[in-house]
Amino acid sequence: MSQKSLILLGMLATALLQACNSGPAKTNPSMSSASSSQSKMVADTREDPLSLKPYLQEAAIKSSSNKEYREAATYWLALYQENPGDLNFALQCAYNMRYANSPGDAINVLNDALRSNPGNAALLAERAKSYAASGNAELALADITKASEAPNAEWPVHSAHGVILDRLGRSGDARLAYEKALKLSPDNPVVLNNLALNHALAGHHEEAVTLLQRATQAPNANIQIRQNLSLLLAMHGDVKGASQLSQADLPNNMAQNNMAYFESLRLE
């Protein structure tokens, strides 16, 4: 496998980690985003002055917001063990464990939750990402396929489905999954980024660049998406364009290091 193919696969691995950009999948259609649902839970549990739950939740939310994922996972695990019927606690715990580079622990928590909630799409979607993070793409595909077939499956599930299919070399099927995600969330920069990497792996350079340029124009496009475009431009000889993107986002020393790397890609 060429260096460029390895780079693209590495970019896909990052895409999978971030596949649910707003947190773990939802347990039902009425559940709000991770942050708002967490805040509501804190307010609800303050009614019991003897409960440690609100303090643990506040600590968990703060740790996760500060990207202290291992610490956050510890708090969420304590909450889940005390409240094993609360699927949101299981999801939050597994999500933070995965981001703390402990996908095996995340799988254990999700397996426990799935024993009493078999077929739950949100739990299956999160376990799929944990399986993928642990290197087991086949088990990941089985879970994410079931989750994507749920009638209320949202765009992050279809996007994650596409990334896992891409990692298994099924680029055509992956493209269909990304298109489903885009129907639910048009012009979503995360999905456009993943679809662009799909095209890049298939050798469709112009389509990939066009999609990434479109993704970077979104107000909520993150630095990772812009740097993916930078790297893709460099891989195909546009070192000047790649450098401009790097210099716009990165400190000078990092941008210079990137320049040297871009030059090496052009010489490959």
Lowest mean pLDDT among 109-113, 115-119, 247-251: 247-251
Q: Quick: pLDDT tens for 132-146.
A: 999 999 999 999 999
Alpha carbon of 82 to those of 56, 69, 77: distances in Å? Answer: 11, 20, 9
Is residue 121 within 8 Å of 153, Cβ to Cβ?
yes
Q: Quick: pLDDT tens for 53-99.
A: 888 999 999 999 999 999 999 999 999 999 999 999 999 999 999 99
So what's the architecture of 1-20+157-268 in CATH?
Alpha Horseshoe (1.25)
- Closest to 53 measured CA to CA, from 40, 66, 36, 34: 40
Residue 19 has pLDDT above 80, yes or no: no
- Residue 225: what pLDDT? 86
What residues does each domain of the chain span?
1-20+157-268, 26-153
Residue 266 CA to residue 234 CA, distance in Å, equals 7
- Residue 247: what pLDDT? 63
Residues with Cβ < 8 Å from 140, sequence gap 6 or more?
128, 129, 131, 132, 164
How far out from the chain centre does Cα 103 lie? 13
Tell the burial category of 159 from Cβ atoms under 10 Å away from its Cβ (0-12, 13-18, 19+): buried
Same topology between domain 1-20+157-268 and domain 26-153: yes
So what's the architecture of 26-153 in CATH?
Alpha Horseshoe (1.25)
Q: Which of 140-154, 190-204, 215-229, 248-262 has the highest mean pLDDT?
A: 140-154
What average pLDDT does range 155-161 have in this prediction?
96
Return the structure tokens found at 92.
């939050």
Torsion angle of alpha carbons 4, 178, 159, 114, nearest 10°? Answer: -120
Residue 34 has pLDDT above 50, yes or no: no
